[in-house]
Chains A and B, each alone.
Chain A
Amino acid sequence: MADEAVDREATRRRFINWFLGTSAGAFLLSVLYPVGRYLIPPAVGESTAGTVTLAIKPDDVKPNTGQIFKFGSRPGILVRTAQGELKAFSAVCTHLSCTVQYRSDISHIWCACHNGHYDLNGKNIEGPPPRPLDAYVANARGNQIVVSKGA
């Protein structure tokens, strides 16, 4: 009987020791893991965020005007057509990556660097740009404009 009591006591102690040991290990891991992650630079530098909410109110974008906005670290262009439709595109010219702008006089998106013209579907229609601007989706949600990369 006495041997049985000693054995039970030894098993319980081993269990508690094991329990405390693994707890300490888990605690150390939980401290060191975030430290390690902080010190190792991320593999992807650029944000992959696909949506941006603009600091522009829908009513502030008048028909036949356009303005540049920040989409991550790249420029985008928001255009309200003469018919009132909101459109958004990448503002990076597909020729040599200059920032394009909106020309109200001809209702074109235009690149000043080499006189490249795009229509209001982002299609390259004149000058050296070899392909259309990347199109974004622009939606007015209440008092905000939300631009996203995909539909």
Chain B
Amino acid sequence: MRLAGLGYALALLLTLASWPAEGASPPTDRCAACHLETGDERLAGPAREFAGDIHAAKGLGCIACHGGDARESGLEAMDPAKGYIGKPKRQQILQVCGRCHSDAQFMKRYNPSLRVDQVTEYASSVHGRRLKELGDSKVATCASCHPAHSIRPPSDPKSSVHPLRVADTCGRCHADAKYMAGYKIPTDQLQKYKSSVHSQAMTVKGDLSAPTCNDCHGNHGAVPPGISWVGNVCGQCHTVMAELFKKSVHAKVFVEMGNPGCATCHENHAIKPASDEMLGLGDKAVCAACHGADDKGGKAATEMRARIDALRTAHDKAQAILLKAEHSGMEVSQASFDLNAASGALVKARTAVHAFSVDAVAKEAEPGLAVSGKAFARGVRALEELAFRRKGLVVSVVIILALIVGLVLKIRQVDRRQEGRDG
């Protein structure tokens, strides 16, 4: 075993020593030429795929990872004495990739903004720790997510790590119940994520900044967020809610109870769009999981829900009457403009729920209620004016028609008199 290990180390050392100089012409010709001629798909496939790989585009060839001598043809090219290591073993992959990707000076020449801490990050991940500490040969390494021979940058829609494809890439292992059998973790994350508001935002609305697996778990340093820092993870985007939550009574209590912060109410992978029904003690209310009608928290939840419902109802009522007036041809644009403040207040009141304080919700909701009330009153006035105008129009039309009828009768009368005189 020791000898085998020594052999690997020596082969790797020779590979690294024979690393191609930057700017060297791609030494792929002879490797690819032979491999494509073999007719063996196992050998020809990688050579063919590599043509679309980012490394090929940057001028790096087969020997960059596999070692050997690309100038030779035939088996001499694959002489272990020339650093040839063949297909890197799982334990070797990290070193092979890290040889360049951890070298800041080297990477700058290709992409100055690319991070060079992937290997360090990987060592902190569950994958990396299991590989190092337990020798687990099933865990993901570089090539598990960045398929060897067809690696593309994340910005390339064909890339396995493009935002739209990350979930499926992770899911190739994590959604495979058979593969994951020994790990005692759920395998429904992918299915749940695809039902979530985040996935919908990304795949349906086309918002590529919406989170996928790596945004919450990290990519190279992938780990499940700890109980105490779930809020920090969600707070990367949901900053206002996270700040309110951090100062709230729940922040401390949740940690003490072992509840995973935001995920306690919103779930982790199957995050649904937040709704008012989640608040209070109703059937769909998440508060009801811990609180009852008689405790302080339950009463606060009910009161907060009542405030939000009142504002939503008032806003919708005002909006409906203004829309009716507008469709009837009345000019109510100022009232509709002012009502925007109420819809803003409703959003803020819903956000304020994360402070878990009736006062915080009331502070945002009350101005919105006042605005909604005024807008509704203006809508009522507009409709009253419309009714008045319509009545006035009917009266005018009746008068005009009566005038016409009167004129016709008068003309006939004049004609008859004229005929009488003439006769």
Contacts and interface: CB of A to CB of B under 8 A. Distances in A.
Main SS at interface, chain A: loop
A50 interface: no
B351 interface: yes
A3 interface: no
Given A31-B400, A92-B340, A130-B210, 5 more contacts: A38-B329, A70-B333, A97-B343, A98-B347, A130-B205
Contacts of B209: 130
A98 B348 contact: yes
12 contacts: A31-B400, A35-B393, A35-B397, A38-B393, A42-B327, A45-B323, A45-B327, A72-B333, A113-B348, A127-B237, A130-B207, A130-B210
B334 interface: yes
Interface in A9-50: 31, 35, 38-39, 41-42, 45-47
Contacts of A70: 333-334, 337
Contacts of A38: 329, 393
A32 to B, nearest CB: 9
Contact of A114 (B205, B240, B326, B336): B240
B93 interface: no
A92 B327 CA distance: 22
Contacts of B205: 130
Main SS at interface, chain B: helix
Contacts of A112: 348
A128 interface: yes
Contacts of B210: 130
A74 B348 contact: no
A63 interface: no
Interface string B307-350: 00000000000000001001111001110110011011001100
Contacts of B344: 97-99, 113
A45 B239 contact: no
B326 A130 contact: no
B238 interface: yes
Interface in B189-221: 201, 205, 207, 209-210
A114 B238 contact: yes
B207 A73 contact: no
Nearest to A37: B329
Nearest to B327: A45
A75 interface: yes
A72 to B, nearest CB: 6
A47 B331 CA distance: 9
A109 B329 CA distance: 34
